Amino acid sequence: MGCLGLFVASGASISQAGPGGALLSYMIIGLMVYFLMTSLGELAAYMPVSG
């Protein structure tokens, strides 16, 4: 069910930016999320909290 929103909402971004622009924007946002999650993983490994 979570992926359904991606397919439904991508129609608006494709109509505004075109297929290439939408793909490029999804790739840029995905790269930003990747960097964010790796930095959060590094912080969790650096400062572990038990419990």
Buried/exposed 25-49: b ≥16 CB within 10 Å, e otherwise: eeeeeeeeeeeeeeeeeeeeeeeee
* Predicted TM-score (pTM) of this structure: 0.71
Residue 2 pLDDT exceeds 70: no
Distance CA 12, CA 10 (A): 5
22 in Cβ contact with 14 (< 8 Å):
yes
Residue 50 pLDDT exceeds 90: no
**Which pLDDT belongs to residue 1?**
60
Distance CA 51, CA 33 (A): 27
Count of C-beta atoms within a 10 Å radius of residue 14: 14
